[in-house]
Amino acid sequence: MLAGEYGDRPWRQHHDPLSELVATILSQNTSDVNSGRAFGSLLSAFGNWERVANADIEDIERAIRSGGLARIKAVRIKVILGKILEERGSLDLAFLDSLPIEDAKSWLRRLPGVGPKTAGCVLLFSLGKPALPVDTHVYRVAMRAGLIPDKVSVEQAHQLLENMVVPEDIYQFHMNMVEHGRKVCKSQRPKCSICVLRGVCVWKGSDSKDW
């Protein structure tokens, strides 16, 4: 249904794996516009990730201030880059492409502060792996549509939804769920009367007024 509404979404690489990791950290609790601005500012200030890894936290914080929660994210980026260097001897994460997907997820999740959503973003957007990130939009639409039970946590939803979608459709599923959550199935004032999922939606608000 969503593919019919929003069209086919062929996979395209967003960033290389390390850049995707940093971009996902910067995207937390902020808008795409702000996180994109912070990502660009960070690369502009330092030129490459090796220099970011060797930079002072205060300098990283200054570069990403436009993204919000700059201190927290600066510390996280610094620690993660240091951990990767310690384990791998370089910041090249291309090796993840050769690992079985569950091993790649496990390796990423050993990094400080990296959960299933961040790991999923790295694997899906940078390497085209069938890992499904569940952000707030995917979680909300899936729960309202009855794809996952009400009491399921966001972490549990990753595996449940990933198991429901055939691997070759995971990228399109994620992208369309996000777009639907942003445009129609909003957290506040959802546009239920124009929703293409209205006929199958089990959410109690499906009869609410269309704002």
Query: Which are the contacts of 93, defined by CB distance < 8 A and separation ≥ 6?
Result: 16, 17, 18, 21, 84, 122
- Residue 204's pLDDT is 59
Query: Does the pTM of the predicted model rise above 0.85?
Result: yes
- Residue 210's pLDDT is 43
- 151-170 mean pLDDT: 95
Residues 110 and 162 in one domain: no
CATH of the domain at 203: 1.10.1670.10
Instruction: List the Cα angle 44/45/48 in 5-degree steps.
Output: 70
3-state secondary structure 44-89: HHHCCHHHHHHCCHHHHHHHCHHHCCHHHHHHHHHHHHHHHHHHHC
- Residue 211's pLDDT is 35
Residues 123 and 137 in one domain: no
126 pLDDT higher than 80? yes
* Annotated catalytic residue, options 78, 117, 151, 204: 117
The answer to whether residue 204 is catalytic is: no
| Domain boundary pick from 94, 127, 160 | 127
Residues 31 and 96 in one domain: yes
Q: CA-CA distance, 35 to 166, in Å (whole number)?
A: 30
Residues 168 and 81 in one domain: no
The proportion of the chain whose per-residue pLDDT surpasses 90, expressed as a percent, equals: 86
- 126-149 mean pLDDT: 96
Q: CA-CA distance, 32 to 114, in Å (whole number)?
A: 19
Q: Which two tokens stand for residue 142?
A: 């899936």
Q: Give 122's DSSP letter.
A: I
Q: Which two tokens stand for residue 96?
A: 């993840």
Q: CA-CA distance, 16 to 128, in Å (whole number)?
A: 11
29 pLDDT higher than 90? no
Residues 22 and 84 in one domain: yes
- pLDDT, tens digit (0-9, with 9 covering 90-100), for 165-188: 999 999 999 999 999 999 999 999
Q: CA-CA distance, 18 to 20, in Å (whole number)?
A: 5
- Residue 87's pLDDT is 95
CB-based burial of residue 211 (10 Å sphere; 0-12 exposed, 13-18 middle, 19+ buried)? exposed
- Sorting pLDDT into bands at 50, 70 and 90, what band is 1? confident
Residues 32 and 62 in one domain: yes
Domain with 41 in it:
17-127
- 53-66 mean pLDDT: 97
- Sorting pLDDT into bands at 50, 70 and 90, what band is 205? low
- Sorting pLDDT into bands at 50, 70 and 90, what band is 203? confident
Residues 122 and 22 in one domain: yes
Structural domain count of the chain: 2
Residues 169 and 77 in one domain: no
